[in-house]
Structure formats: structure tokens, C-alpha cells
A and B are shown apart, each in its own frame.
Chain A
Amino acid sequence: MSSLDMSSFGYILAAIFLPLFPASMLFNWLFFRIGNVWLRSGLLLVWPQLGLWLLAAVTEEPPVGLIYWGVLTAGLYAFRACALRDFRLWTAHMATSSWALLWLAAAVNEGGYEVNLQAAAFSAPFVLLAWFIFRIESSFGAAYAGAVGGLALTVPRLAGVLVMTVLAAVATPLFPGFFVLLQTITQALMVVPGAAVMVLGVWLLWAWAGTRILQGLVFGPASSEPGADLAGVTTGLLGSVLLVLVIAGIAFAEGLA
């Protein structure tokens, strides 16, 4: 097989794990069908790392077209997430949107494990969200905005930690996603300015998608029977994880250059 064919094959494989549309549909299809929370969490952690490993295996620089395609994929999934009410689908779409940006991050990064850390920083809030999906589905039968609403009134602890996790997922400071995006834009703006500006558009769409899912799930009048709220220990544990994320974010900021 010639080197061109090898690299094309490598890119196609990488496009599945660092999701580029339409290969991105595979992850979303899988995530929606996997019921086990541990498997889902594992998938969220491992999937982009596999993509990065495949991308690193292709020694050539990815074509600029692929980088733009990655940012467009991120935009497409962020845009579609704005209209989603199923929390499981929302999480999958937002994860896809985040990971698609790693094409740009990988292209402008100077090598090393930084981009792997960035991928992990993107994935971490979604792992927590996978646990929340499981918890809400167990308590209320479905994690569907509108059908399950007003969690802030019925299960305030769960709602509080969920809100913080969604904020982490949509790259709010001081969570690592914010600094990863800032780092990516800083490195990309002078090299691929169009893509860097498009990343800002994706960021705006994330904020929109985030507020819409919170509006449907957490706020508004309670639309279901109150389920069991989180125990104090669980809340503390989840809060600690979020605190670790904040510390990781600050550590990311130290390396901003």
C-alpha cells in the first residue's frame, strides 16, 4: 500500500474516533444504545484518545481541509444539540462537537501529550454527565427535558451539581474546557484564522445548547414526582471532582502560550 493510501486510511479511521461528519454518526449511534453507565463513561474517555493515537500514527500533517471539516462538524453537532431534549443524545452530540475540535488542536499543537490532556479535559465533564443520565433515568424513567423538569425544586443537590457539570461541558471558566479553547484559539488564530474564528461560533452554540437543556431539565415548575436527592457524601464527592477540574483548568492556564 502506498504512503498516500496509508495516510488516507489512517485519516478515515481517525475520523471515526475524532469524529468528523458523517463518520461521527457511529459514536452517537453507539452511545445512545449502550445502557451500561461504566461502558458509556469508558467510551467517553477512550474514544478521542484512540483518535489521537491514530492521528499520531499518520506521520503527515493533516490537510487544512480536514481541520476545517473538524470545526464544521463541531459546529453542526453544537447546532443540533440546541434542539435536543433527550439528555443522552445531548451529551453525545456535545462530546462529538468538542472532540471534532481536536483536529485543529492537534494541528496547531507542538507535539507531546498536551493534546491528549486537552481531549481528557473535554471528556471529563461528559463522563460526569453520563453518570447523571444514569441517575436521572433510574429515578425518573427518562432523562428528557420537559418530561423531567424542575429538578432544582425536586432534587436540589442533584440539580446544583448537574448545573455545574453542564457549565464545565460548555467551557465556562475556570473549567479546563475554557482554557483548552483559549489555547487552541491562541495557537490557531495566526495560522488558520478562519478556523479559529469558527471555533468562537461553536463556543457560542455550546452556550445556547447548555442553557436550553438546563431550562428544560433543571428550571421551571416541577413536572414529575420528587425522586431521591443525592446523599451529602455523593454531593461532596461530585463537588470534589468538579474542584479537581477547576484546579486542572488553572494548571492549563499556566501553560497558555
Chain B
Amino acid sequence: MKSLVLLILLLPLAAALLTQLIAPRFRQTSVRISIVGSVATFIVAAALLTLALRGEPTRVIQFGANWGELLFDPLGSLMAFVVSGISLIVHVYSVRYMRDEPGYPRFFVLLDLMTAALLLMVIAGDLITLLIAWHLIGVLLYFLLGHDASSHAAHRYASWTLLTYRFGDLPLVIAAVLLYQAFDTWSLQAIFAQLTQAPDKLTLFELPLAETVAALVALSAFARSAQFLLHTWLPYSMSGPTPVSALMHAGIVNAGGFLINRFAPLFVNTDGVLHWVFIVGLVTAVIGSVLMLAQNDIKKALGYSTMGQMGFMIMECGVGAFSLAIYHLIAHGLFKGTLFLGAGGVIGEARQDDGVPKDDLYTFVVEREPAKRRQPWLPMAIMTLVVPVTILVLAHWLVAQDFFQKQGAIVLLFFGWVTGAQLIFSTYRMRTQNIWRLMGLILFSFTIVVLGYAMISHAFDLFLYPDPVFRTSIDAAAGIDIIWFDALVILMALVVVLGWLITYAAEQHRQYWGAKLGAIWRSFYTLVAREFFVIDAYARLSDGLLSIARRLNVLLRWS
């Protein structure tokens, strides 16, 4: 076990070193070494995950007196498997994609180092090791994004990414120091054990330790996972090579969700921090998704889509669905990685052929004759509201009968409800002649997705947090007063129902609503198209600060 944990770190490091040493003489061979290292790392990660799935207990492997602890636990082994898997795919993809780029072997050295840093982050057993890995990821990403040494633009955006990351590193430093001062150890396991014994410990300025540290950890996670106001680096980091975009969107950006999960024993002792996490995630999810819709550049749209997904992941943490966030980050990593790696090829092929098979389904969905008459809007609206919620409730009830006692699950159900309703609404808008066939297809896919999501997330919950008492305490930390919660549920249900009724009515009487809301809609679109002026504000701030620094230098005669 100890050797496997050590090996998973040493393999990418050794691959990086060998690649660097051999590169000047054997360009191609050096890259092959990197690939072999990547395959070996993946095999070791798979072995570790297998051990964890077989129920091997959590172990701490100590390499130094004060720090240098590595942790073998379900979360670390699962994340190591994901990181090494995505890294392997990116490695293999880059062999041909980057072949003609200058600094070809250097790119693989950086990829290997990044893999090592990510693996170190997920298996770090103490705060110093975690801080080192957390910092190094930002630095390595800076060099990966700026791989094209001749591009000023790439480096400008890489610098901005590094600065945002560094901004996010700092709260984690304070959090680590506060924990060390409180418990006199850097070891995460020892800290969590002591925290469970004394959850009401106070810290600086008589502030509650758990809440203060949790808020700082959350802030760090926000910067890493591109939450609103700390998001601007994400959509603009596309000037880096495509494999880096894939690695970043599929792996690195998910670190926020991982960090919150790593500190789960801390968050269960908080009261209120998770609510803020939920709000930040919600705002990010909404704004990210809105911004994505307004983009006309596919890579930028994917960037904002990631922002929305990250918001959703953080929001899941906020409602106490920690393991669901891990499932989400893995699922998102896989589909976003695929999208990035396939984007260039898809665009190229689509210029020749749209790639959609001209079968029955295609004719039905795309080459359809619009129906002369729509279905009556009111029954359709009612169906839109009733059907998804029924499927969602049944699916969740099948998986866990105590579903309705979990506030977080009910909050997430609302999102599922709105998504399902959106699907059914699209059948109404599409004006198909055979509406029942279309709806059948949609409902079938929706049911499969909901069932899969509910079952897999439940399995993740059991794997990552096997202790039922701990699972209950996560829900308790994320929960609010039951009266307030019920009132909010009723209010939200009313908003959703009313919203969809208005949407259907507006669709029926388009001209009237179009004239009424047109001007407001156009102003909103302008705001969205300018990305809410956040980037402009940051650019102004940075220019202003540099101008002040220049003036000061002149005033003080550069001394």
C-alpha cells in the first residue's frame, strides 16, 4: 500500500525528469517515456481505487517529521484515478496534436509535473503538502497556458489565471495556519479528530474556528473553481493549447469541489457557511449559463459552460450533497474533456458534413413539417409541471426512502424539475406533428438520466462517506430551520409554476409580449454580451494600479 501511494507520485515525476533529460537527443523517444509514465500512473491509480472499493481502511503514510503525509482514503483514491485517467487521455491526444509545436518535449514535461501536482493535492495528508500542491498547480498551469512562448496574449491570460489562483491560495494559507495554531499539528487526520472533540473552539478575535476556517477554505475553492467575480480567467484562458484547455476544464478547475470534500469533517461543524457556499454557487451557475448562451465563439461558450457547471458543483456542496459534487465533477470532466478534445475535429468535419445520420430520428427531429396547430397551452403547461416532478420523486424514492427528509435533495429536485420542464416545453415550441412521439423520446431519456444520476450519486455517497452519522451531520450543517425551509419550498414551487404558466402564455401570444418586453430584453442582452462589465472593471483596476505604481516610481526617482 505504502509503495503504491508513493509510486503514484514518483512515476509522473520520474517521467518528467527522464523526458527532460532525453529530449535534447531523442525528441520522439522522450515523449514516449512520458506516455509510458502516464499509463503506469493510471494502472497504479486503478490498483489504489480497487483497494479502496474492497474496503481497505484509510491510512496515513508519513514521510517527514512535521509534514510529508500522504493519505490513502476513498476520496483520494477516486480522485487519483480520475486525474490519472484524464491526464493519460490528454497525453495520448497531445502526441499528434502538439507534434509540430516548438517545445514539444517541454509540453510533456509540464503535463507530467502537473499530473504529479494534482495527484499530490488529492492524496495530501497534511496542510503543508496540500499548500505546496495547491500553489504548484497554479504555477504549472501558468506555464502550460503560456506554452506558446512567442504569444503575448497567451501569457497575459496565463498571468491573470496565476494571479487569480494566487488570490485563492492566500485564504488557504490563513486557514492552514489557524488550524495549526489551534491543534498544534499540520496533519489533516489529527486536526479533524481533534476538531470533532472540540467543535466549538475559538480562534483569532474570538471567532469560531470551524466557521472561520471553513469560510476561508470555501473562498479558496471559489477562486479555483471560477465562481462569480473570480471567474474571469476561465473563459479567457483558451489561448493555451487545446489539450491544456481539456485538462483544465476536465480536471484542474474541479479542485474547488475536491477541496470542500477534503475538508468535509470541518464543514459538518459549521453553521451557516454552507448556505453562503450555496448562494455563491447558485449565482455562478445562473450567470455562467446566461453568459454561455450569449457567446458566439465555441471555445468561449464552453468556458462559460464550465463556469455554470462549477457553480452547480459548488451549489451541491452548499446543500450538503458533497459526494454528488464529486460525481458531478467527474461527469463534467469527462464530457467537457471530450468536447474540448473533439472541438477542432468536429468543426473541421462539420464543414464537409454535419455528421448527423439521416435516419428516421433525424427526419423526425430536424426535417420535420411544422404542425399547423399547436396543442392547447394550458394542458401542456400542466403536463410540463407535473410529469418531471413525478419522475424525479419516484426515481429518488426508489434509491432512498428517506429522501424527503433531506433538504439538500429537495433543493436539487427543484433544479431537476426546471430542467425537465424545459425539455417538455421544447416539444411545445418545436411544433411537431407527432408531439407524443417526441415527448415519449424526451421523457424516456429524462427518466434514464434521472435514474442513473440518483443511483450513481447514492453509490458515491456510500463509498465516500460510509458512516451514516457523518452523512446525517453533513445534511444538518447544510440545513435551515424547517419552517423557513417549508416556506421557501412553497414560494419556489409557486414561482416555478407561475413562471411556466407565464412562459406558455407568452409563447401563445408572442407578438403582445414581444412588444412589451423587447426593449428590456435588448438592454439585458447588451449587459450579458459585455459580460456584466466585470472584465472591463478588472482591466480598469489593473491599469489604474499600474499607472499609480509608475507615478510613484517617477516621484521617488526609482529608488
Residues of A with Cβ closer than 8 Å to B? 25-26, 28-29, 32, 76, 79-80, 82-84, 86, 89, 150, 152-153, 159, 167, 172-174, 178, 182, 185-186, 189-190, 193, 196-197, 200, 203-204, 207-208, 211-212, 214-215, 218-222, 253-257
Which 6 pairs across A and B sit closest by C-beta, in order of nearness? A83-B549, A152-B149, A211-B159, A25-B559, A28-B559, A173-B132
Q: Is the CB of B558 within 8 A of A89?
A: yes
Query: Inter-chain contact count A-B, CB under 8 Å?
Result: 122
Task: Assess whether B553 is in contact with A200, with CB atoms less than 8 Å apart.
Answer: no
Contact status A153-B135, CB under 8 Å: no
Stretch of B90-98, B162-170, B422-430 on the interface side: B162-170
Other than the given A211-B159, A255-B66, 7 more pairs (CB < 8 A) read: A32-B558, A82-B546, A152-B149, A186-B180, A203-B170, A220-B155, A256-B128
Q: How far apart are B278's CB and chain A's nearest CB, in angstroms?
A: 27
* Per-residue interface assignment for chain B, residues 486 to 514, with 1 indicating a CB less than 8 Å from any chain A CB and 0 otherwise: 00000000000000000000000000000
Residue of B nearest to A86 (CB): B558
Digitize B131-150: 1 where CB-to-A-CB distance is under 8 Å, 0 elsewhere. Answer: 11001100100100010011
How far is it, in angstroms, between the C-alpha of A28 and the C-alpha of B557 when the chains are bound? 10
Question: Which one, B73-81, B171-179, B294-302, B441-449, is touching chain A?
Answer: B171-179
Contacts of B550 in A (CB 8 A): 83
- Report yes or no: B174 in contact with A189, Cβ–Cβ below 8 A: yes
What residues on A are CB-neighbors of B186 within 8 Å?
Answer: 256
B66 near A204 (CB under 8 angstroms)? Answer: no
CB distance from B445 to the nearest CB of A (A): 46
Across the interface, A215 reaches (CB within 8 A) one of B135, B155, B552, B556, namely B155
Q: Which residues of A contact B149 (CB under 8 A)?
A: 150, 152-153, 159, 218-220
**B65 interface residue per 8 A CB criterion:** yes
Task: Decide if A207 touches B152 in the complex (CB within 8 Å).
Answer: no
> Is the pair A167, B163 in contact by a Cβ cutoff of 8 Å?
no
Q: Is B136 a contact of A186 with CB atoms below 8 Å?
A: no
User: Are B166 and A203 interface neighbours, CB within 8 A?
Assistant: yes
The answer to whether B152 touches A215 (Cβ under 8 A) is yes
Cα distance A186–B179 when bound, in Å? 10
Taking CB atoms and an 8 Å cut-off, the chain B residues in 54-83 that contact chain A are 64-67
Known: A25-B556, A82-B545, A256-B186. A200 touches B173 (CB 8 A): yes
Q: How far is the CB of A244 from chain B (nearest CB, A)?
A: 17
A219 CA to B99 CA in the complex, in Å? Answer: 21
Within 8 A of A (CB), among B512-559: 545-546, 549-550, 552-553, 556, 558-559
Q: What's the Cα separation between A29 and B557 when bound, in Å?
A: 9
Compute how far the CA of A200 lies from the CA of B170 in the bound complex, rounded to whole angstroms.
6
Main secondary structure of the interface of B (DSSP, over half): helix
On whether A189 and B181 interact (CB within 8 A), knowing A182-B131, A215-B159, A219-B149, the answer reads yes
CA distance A257 to B181 in the complex (A): 9
Would you call A190 and B181 a contact (CB within 8 A)?
yes
Chain A nearest CB from B175 CB (Å) reads 11
A255: B residues at CB distance < 8 A: 66
| Residue in A83, A173, A190 whose CB lies within 8 Å of B131 | A173
B204 CB within 8 Å of chain A: yes
Interchain CB contact under 8 A, B163 and A211? yes
A45 and B263 CA atoms in complex are apart in Å by 42
How far does the Cβ of A71 sit from chain B's closest Cβ, in whole Å? 15
Specify which of A29, A80, A86 lies most central, judged by the most chain B CB atoms within 10 Å of its CB: A80
A-side contacts of B558, CB under 8 Å: 28, 32, 84, 86, 89
In the assembled complex, how far is the CB of residue A105 from the closest CB belonging to chain B, in whole angstroms? 15
| Residues of B close to A153: CB separation below 8 A | 149-150
Establish whether residues B135 and A172, one from each chain, have CB atoms under 8 Å apart when the complex forms: yes
What residues of chain A lie closer than 8 Å to B180, measured between beta carbons? 186
Given A204-B163, A212-B159: A254 and B181 interface contact (C-beta under 8 Å): no
A235 to B151, CA, bound (A): 25
B185 vs chain A, min Cβ distance (A):
10
Which residues in B have some Cβ–Cβ distance to A below 8 Å? 64-67, 128, 131-132, 135-136, 139, 142, 146, 149-152, 155-156, 158-159, 162-163, 166-167, 170, 173-174, 177-178, 180-181, 186, 204-205, 545-546, 549-550, 552-553, 556, 558-559
Contact of A167 with B156 in the complex, beta carbons under 8 Å? no
Knowing A82-B545, A82-B549, A186-B180 are in contact, say whether A219-B146 is a contact too (CB < 8 A): yes
Q: Are A150 and B150 in contact (CB under 8 A)?
A: yes
A79 to B546, CA, bound (A): 8
Cβ–Cβ < 8 Å partners of A204 in chain B: 163, 166-167, 170
Asked if A220 meets B151 with Cβ closer than 8 Å, knowing A182-B131, A182-B173, A212-B159, the reply is yes
With known contacts A182-B128, A189-B174, A253-B66, A83–B553 Cβ distance under 8 A: yes
B170–A186 CB distance below 8 A? no
Chain A residue with Cβ nearest B549: A83
Interchain Cβ contacts under 8 Å between A and B, 20 examples: A89-B558, A150-B149, A159-B149, A167-B139, A173-B135, A174-B132, A189-B178, A193-B205, A204-B163, A204-B167, A204-B170, A218-B149, A219-B150, A219-B155, A220-B149, A220-B150, A220-B151, A253-B128, A254-B66, A256-B186
A197: nearest residue on chain B (CB-CB)? B174
- Give chain B residues whose Cβ lies under 8 Å from the Cβ of A32: 558-559
CB pair A193 B204 closer than 8 Å: yes
Shortest CB distance A143–B (Å): 14
B residues less than 8 Å from A221 (CB atoms) = 150, 152
A254 to B146: give the CA distance in the assembly, Å.
33
Q: With A80-B552, A219-B149 as given contacts, are A186 and B204 in contact (CB-CB < 8 Å)?
A: no
Using Cβ atoms and an 8 Å threshold, which residues of chain B touch A89? Answer: 558
Q: Are B559 and A220 in contact (CB under 8 A)?
A: no
Neighbouring A residues of B159 by C-beta, 8 Å: 208, 211-212, 215
Q: Which residues of A contact B162 (CB under 8 A)?
A: 207, 211
Contacts of B132 in A (CB 8 A): 173-174, 178
Q: How far is the CB of A129 from chain B (nearest CB, A)?
A: 17
A84 vs B162: C-alpha distance when bound (angstroms): 19
B546 to A, closest residue via Cβ: A83
CB-nearest residue of chain B to A193: B204
Would A186 and B177 be within 8 Å (CB), given that A32-B559, A203-B166, A204-B163 are in contact? yes
The listed residue with most A CB atoms (<10 A of its CB), out of B135, B149, B170, is: B149
